[in-house]
């Protein structure tokens, strides 16, 4: 199954995206965004050939609808997110990056993932306090 997103997919709190048992590809469009959310698991999906896409109107609460700007082109973007687990995923060819964890995103675990065809992998932006709650294990950068 190939899912081509016209705009980034905004994931809410307490969600699991589980690709076990089927080949799930998010490809040739926008990526996944976890903004100000917690308790999210992304498991066994392939995210590749991600492009920067135009934003649109988005409901971020029951009482608020706002305009979303252009996405960066990250495969998975974490912005102020916590308690996030990305496991057994393959991330390839993001226009901007593969995983972007910014704005005090904490308690992130990236495990058993494969990062392909990108010229830049950096965890230098992590602070000591963030690193105490963030783990990168058993991943392969190709």
Domain ranges of the chain: 2-141
Residue 126 predicted with pLDDT over 60: no
| pTM attached to this predicted model | 0.84
| Partners of 30 in the β-ladder | none
Q: Which range is least confidently modeled, 37-51, 100-114, 115-129?
A: 115-129
Average predicted confidence (pLDDT) for the chain: 85
Average pLDDT over residues 47-56: 91
Burial of 136 (0-12, 13-18, 19+ CB in 10 A): middle
| Length of the chain, in residues | 142
**What is the dotted CATH code of the domain comprising 2-141?**
2.160.20.10
Identify the pLDDT of residue 42: 97
What mean pLDDT comes out for the span 89-112? 91
Nearest Cα to Cα of residue 42 among 15, 4, 22: 15
């Amino acid at each position: 199954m190939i899912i081509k997103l016209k705009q980034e997919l905004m994931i809410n709190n307490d969600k699991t995206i589980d690709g076990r048992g089927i080949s799930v590809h998010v490809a040739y469009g926008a990526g996944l965004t976890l903004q100000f959310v917690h308790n999210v698991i992304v498991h066994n999906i392939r995210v590749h050939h991600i492009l920067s896409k135009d934003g649109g109107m988005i409901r971020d609460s029951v009482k608020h609808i706002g305009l979303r700007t252009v996405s960066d082109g990250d495969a998975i973007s974490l912005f102020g997110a916590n308690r996030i687990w990305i496991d057994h995923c393959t991330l390839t060819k993001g226009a901007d990056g593969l995983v972007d964890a910014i704005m005090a995103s904490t308690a992130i675990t990236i495990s058993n993932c494969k990062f392909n065809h990108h010229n830049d992998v950096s965890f230098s932006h992590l602070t000591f306090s963030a690193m105490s709650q963030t783990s990168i294990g058993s991943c392969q950068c190709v």
